[in-house]
Structures are given as structure tokens and as C-alpha cells.
Structure 1
Amino acid sequence: MQQVEIFDRNAVKKRRTRAVRQFRPGADFIAAIAAADIAERLAPINRSFDVAIDLGGHNDAVCDVLKSSGKTKHVFSGDLFVANTHRRATDFVFDDALPPLADGCCNLILSALTLHAVNDLPGSLVQLRRALRPDGLLLATLVGGDTLHELRDVLMRAELEMMGGAAIRVAPFTDTRDAGALLQRAGFALPVADKDSIIVRYDNMFGLLNDLRAMGSTAALADQGSPLSRQTLFKAAEIYASDYADEDGRIRATFDLITLSGWAAHESQQKPLKPGSAQKRLSDVL
């Protein structure tokens, strides 16, 4: 069956390249939050990793997590699509749809806010699992769930009212249950997927759009339709301020961060018991 192209990968690359060239300090705050969350998840893991890969692709935050953890010996850091000259160092440039990693090359892969705009997420996860040595770990945070559901709603309603029809303007994102299933499908052992929701407030919709542009995260859909008119955008901002504002007038924007963790299979890992191997009936225990 032919792969459905949801995202225009050339457009994804252009938006990322523009964000690097027009770098604005502080615009990568969601990436910083994702890196801090990954640090918390890595801290209780009582083991070391000889070779670690940072597929963060946004800033130095993930690389700093790896180097300060005391759990890694060699760290290699990548940038998404284009080298970020505002970082301290970049070891390689990568496409998250085709991670340039050899089979069995590392023990740990951390990815913060990449992967959510690839057209074949199961295929990318398989490649990452193959890059891990036995008992290697993947920790990946991607945008998912109800991210920007407010913006999706107001753009659709404004375009319907002004134009009589609406195109998809905010990308669809993977939900937590599907993400966990994809980990299992890709062959990861002990797969876990969970979600954190972050509410960010803005003076108006245009402040949100400016941040998304600075992040390189404006929509890059394969079937996106023609650009919205100024009148439609102003109508959307009006609806946003009416329906998604707090008492002080500032609007809310939701970012759902889904974190995936999975291990490359190893004989030392816990395994479920075989069906029928229980020594007692559950009813007797209860």
C-alpha cells in the first residue's frame, strides 16, 4: 500500500532553515521544556551508555542533558536539516525521516521535538531501534494529541465563514495510545508512551503565530490549500479572543508533548509470563 504523504517534507525543511537563519532567543522554549523532561526521565536509570546520540535538532539543551548526566561516554549531536550556527557544536545534520545511523551504533538515542512531521513514523522508529545495540534505550518527545486545537478550531471556523469552505491548517498529530502501539510495532521492548499538556498564553493569535514561525513549526502539509487572506486571519483572531481567552484577555494555546521510551530487546529484560503459567487463581488472591 502506498504511503500517505501528510507532510510536505520540502516545506518542513524550508521552515526549519528559515527558523535557524532568523534565530530569535527564547523561541525554542518548548524544546527546552522537552529537554528538561527527558533529563528527569534519564536521571533514575541506573546505568551508563557508551555512545549516545542527540537527535534534538533544535538547541544545545538535549546535548547538555547527556553530558551533565554522568551516564554517557561519547555524545554525538545532530541538527535537523541545517546546521544551527547558534549552537556550540554540531556533529552531523540529519533528516528525521531517514536518521543517518548505522545498525547497532549506539546505546542511547534522545530525540526532542523531531519525528512528529515525518510521513512514516513507524519506519523511522524501526530505523532508530536498529541503530540501538541490545538493551539500548530510546527516549523521544514529539508533539501530539490536541496540540494547537484552539488554533485549528478558529482557523477552520473563520475560513468557513469568510470563504464558504475550509482546508486543514494545523497538522494532525499522533495520540498517546497510537504512539505506544507504534513503539511496539517497531520492535521495541518495554514500550511506554505518556503525555504532558502545556498551556502557553499570548496577548493575541498573532503572537502565537510569530512563535510558531520562529520555531520552524508553522504548518507544512502536503494538501494545505491557498494562503489565508488577511481578512480571514483577523476573523480567526477575533474568534480566538472570544472563545479561548482568560479573564485578563490573554488567549490560551495548548501543546501536548508525548514522550516515548523503548528498549532494544535483550535477554536480561523482564518478560511477561507465559499464558497458563500462574500458580494461583486471581479469585483466590482477591
Structure 2
Amino acid sequence: MALPPKVFDRMLIAEHLGRRPAEPDDFVTQLALDDLASRLITVSRDFEQALIMAPDGARLPLMGRSASGAFAFERVSTVLGSPDAPLVDPEALLLPRDGYDLIVSLFDLQVINDVPGFLARIRAHLSPDGLMIAAALGGDSLTELRQAFLRADAETSGGAFARVAPFIPLADAGGLLQRSGYALPVTDLETYPIRYADLLRLMRELKGLGAQNPLADRPGRLATRTLLAAASAAYAELAGDPDGRVRATLEIIWLSGWAPHENQQKPLRPGSATVRLRDVLGK
């Protein structure tokens, strides 16, 4: 079996995460955690064995709450391990145990090369009827940054280089869950328009997230002042506001699915309906 192409350089991502300040301004992760809390509180389920993971799992919560009450999270990291959140290789995903009732993954899909395999390995660690929830950056995230650097590279060097990682389109998310063997798959999208003082402030935010260019096949040279100046000018033209600030698009895709179980709701067999559509529509 052919191995998936290497898209992300996790060693480089680990270096970026390790250089962050003790209390980084990582509002993107906080957005995801707030949204996760609002999703879990609607689930009527006791989670006795729950795990949450992220590239840097030490910054994740130790407790969660569902409609049935509070529960404890076990934490692991997929890029930067620590005593509070041990490192696991996301491509192999050997978690501490099997039989979890709930596994949550926040932005791990941004650092792995085999997304369907990763989702399938999560499913293998779930108990029957266990729940998986994952958050990933959506396909149109940072589209302004991508366009600005493409324009700046063409202007300063006559070529185009990949400087922003690819993200998952919403249209592909449901198929990923189905390919990975989940029952009752659900995907949805949250879009956040964000404003910054300038391009450099946005790039500092990405640095705090550990999301500086993580591509394995990235340009071999550092961004020069000339390139950054050209990118800043292009960004202001593409997404500048009258007050001098610039806009950035952030999309967070949420994926959820259940490990198959015989008692789960099943789709009706073709021809088994007892009510005609014509009767429902009154025609």
C-alpha cells in the first residue's frame, strides 16, 4: 500500500509551538473550546472514558460537561508532548487504551498526512456507540493571506510558492467520515470574520497558534523584507478596510460521528415507507 504524501513537517510545527510564550494569545483554540462546550452540553450521554487531543494537548481542559453532567478528560498531544499531555504519533495513533466513550480532536487534522486513516484509527479506539468530535480549519480560512503571498511572490521573484497550508473543504468532510466507517456522520461550518491592524499582526497570531508555514515542501529561503512589504501591500488592497485595518477569514469545520452499534438508528430500506410524499404535500 502506498504511503500518503508528506504534506506537513511536524518537527517544524513542534519547534514553532515550543517557541510560544507561556501564555500565548491563542484565541482560535479558545473559539473552538467554547464551541465544543456548547456542543457537548446538548449530548445526553454519560462519558466515563473521554479523551481530548490537539497538537499541544497541555493547553486543553481537564473537564467537560454533557447534558448528563461533568466528566474528566484524558489529554494527549499529537505534536508537542509534555508530562501533562503525552505525545502520540498521529499517523499511528496508539492511544493509552481502547473503549473510549468520547474522543475529541482539535486541529489535529492540520498536522497529519493521512486524514481518513487518522479518523479511522480514532474510531477503532471508541467503544461501540462512542462519539468522535473533531474541529479542523475550513478550506477558505486565510484565503486573503494565500492570495497576498501568491501576488507578492510573483512580483518579487517571478514565481509562486506554497506558503499557507491547505485546509479541508466542507464538501469533503462528510465523505471523510463515511470513508472512515462512522455511523450518523454530521458536518457543519462556523465562519468568523476577524480584523487585524495589519498583515504582521495576523502573522504573529499564527505564530502563537503554531501555524507558521508547516508545509514539508516549503520554500527553502526565508521571507525577505521585500517580500513581506509586497505581501502587506497586496493584503491591504485585497482585504483592507477604510480605517486601515485588514480582514481575515477563519472557518472551523466540525465533524462528528459514532462508532457503529446495532441499536443505532438505521436508514429505512428502499420501498419500506408507509406514507406517500404526495399525501404529505397534499397533492
Q: TM-score, normalised by structure 1?
A: 0.90
Match in the other structure for 1:170? 164
CA shift in 2, pair 1:36/1:73, >3 Å:
closer
CA shift in 2, pair 1:97/1:79, >3 Å:
same
Residue type of the partner of 2:240?
Answer: A
1:271-282 alignment runs, 5 A limit: 271-282=266-277
Tell me how far 1:34 sits from its aligned partner: 0.1
1:145 to 116, 139, 147: 139
Match in the other structure for 1:17? 18
Residue type of the partner of 1:235?
Answer: A
Tell me how far 1:73 sits from its aligned partner: 4.5
Does 1:156 pair with 2:150?
A: yes
1:254-273 alignment runs, 5 A limit: 254-273=249-268
| Alpha-carbon distance in 1 for matches of 2:126, 2:66 | 21
| 1:172-208 CA-partner distances (Å, limit 9, x unpaired) | 1111121111011101111011111112211110111
2:37 to 36, 39, 42: 39
Match in the other structure for 1:93? 87
| Alpha-carbon distance in 2 for matches of 1:117, 1:279 | 48
Match in the other structure for 1:3? 4
SS in 1 for 2:130: strand
Unmatched 5+ stretches in structure 1: none
Match in the other structure for 1:112? 106
Question: Quick check: 1:177–1:193 contact (8 Å CA) kept in 2?
Answer: no
| Alpha-carbon distance in 2 for matches of 1:252, 1:64 | 34
| 1:62-95 CA-partner distances (Å, limit 9, x unpaired) | 42551687645543112343345xxxx7142233
1:113-132 alignment runs, 5 A limit: 113-132=107-126
SS in 2 for 1:27: coil
Q: TM-score, normalised by structure 2?
A: 0.91
| Alpha-carbon distance in 1 for matches of 2:17, 2:161 | 23
Match in the other structure for 1:209? 203
Give the fraction of aligned pairs with identical amino acids, expressed as a percent: 38
Question: Quick check: 2:133–2:255 contact (8 Å CA) kept in 1?
Answer: yes
Question: What is the RMSD computed on CA atoms of the aligned residues?
Answer: 2.1
Unmatched 5+ stretches in structure 2: none
| 1:138-164 CA-partner distances (Å, limit 9, x unpaired) | 111111211110000000001101111
SS in 2 for 1:33: helix
